[in-house]
Amino acid sequence: MNAPKSDLLQGTLDLLILKTLALGKSHGWGISQRIQQISEDVLQVQQGSLYPALHRLEKSGLIAAEWGASDNNRRARFYELTAAGHQALTAETESWHRLSGAVGRVLEAV
């Protein structure tokens, strides 16, 4: 049974993935761990959404995948940002800042 969609909107999840990968190549598990760590456990990525998102980003050409060996020598699929991915990340980050800034101002004004 499909679990209800994650708390993170699809677009936001994509953004987080891109950012995480900007910090370096990683596999799916690593990405979810990193996001959890950096956000100090506030953001927990639903596994059900992560992998479809990764495949979607790969299809759009923003990230690229290859098989490799993990730290404990297991076969894992590693993802990294492409040039297009870097561009998208910059653009999306800007938008995000603009949006959250605006929301913040509205909240403070009350």
Partner 1 sequence: MASQSRTFDAPKGRADLERDLDDELRFHLEMEAAQLATRGHSPDEAATLAKRRFGSVEAVKEDCREERSGYGFELFGRDLRFGLRTLARRPSFTIAAVLTLALGIGANAAVFSVVRGVLLRPLPYGAGDRLVALRQADPVAAVADAGFAAQELYDLRQGTKTLDGLVEYHHMWFNLLGRGEPMRVRTGVVSHEYFAVLGVAPLLGRSFLPQDEAHGAPPVLVLSHGFWKTAFGGDPQVVGEVFQMNDRPHTVIGVLPPLPPYPDANDVFMPTSACPFRSAQAMEESRTMRGLSLLGRLAPDSSIVTAQAELAELGRGMAEEHPEAYDQGRAMEMHLDPMREVLTSEARPSLVLLFGTVVLVLVLACANVASLTLARLQARERELALRRVLGAGKGRLWRQLATESTLLALAGGVVGLLLAVPVVELLSRWASGITPRADEIRLDGQVLLFTLAVALATGLALGALAVLRSSGVDPGQSLKAGARQTLSGGRLDLRRALVIGQLAVSAVLLTGAGLMVRTLVNLYRVDPGFETTNVVKARLDLNWSRYRNAPQIATFWSSLLDEVKDLPGVTMVAVASRVPLGEPLASARLELRGEAPPAGTAPRIGLRLVSPNYFETLGMGFVEGATFSPADDAEAPRKAILSRSLAARHWPASSPLGKELTLDGGDTWWRVAGVVDDVKQDGLAAEISEELYLALAQSPPLSGNLLVRIEDGAQLSAQTLRGAVARLDPEQPIVDVGTLEELRRNAVAAPRLISTLLALFAGLALAITTTGLAGLLAFQVSQRVPEIGVRVALGATPGLVRNLILRQGLALVALGLGAGVLGALLLGRSLSTLLYGVEPGDPWTLAAVMIVLFATAGFACWLPARRAAHVDPMAALRSD
Least gap, CB of 23 to partner 1 (angstroms): 19
Is 24 near partner 1 (CB under 8 A)? no
Chain centre to alpha carbon of residue 32:
8
| CA atoms within a 13 Å half-sphere pointing along the CA-CB vector of 31 | 28
Give the residues across from 68 on adjacent strands. 76
Helices (H) and strands (E) in the chain, counts: 4, 3
Does 37 bind partner 1 (CB under 8 A)? Our answer is no
Q: Does 5 bind partner 1 (CB under 8 A)?
A: no
In the complex, what is the shortest distance from the CB of residue 1 to partner 1, in angstroms, rounded to a whole number?
6
**Cβ proximity of 46 and 6 under 8 Å:** yes
Looking only at residues 42 through 101 of this chain, which bind partner 1 when binding is defined by CB under 8 A?
46-48, 51-52, 55-56, 58-61, 63-67, 70, 74-77, 82-84, 87
> What CA–CA distance (Å, rounded) separates 72 from 55?
24
Binding site for partner 1 (CB under 8 A): 1-3, 27-29, 46-48, 51-52, 55-56, 58-61, 63-67, 70, 74-77, 82-84, 87
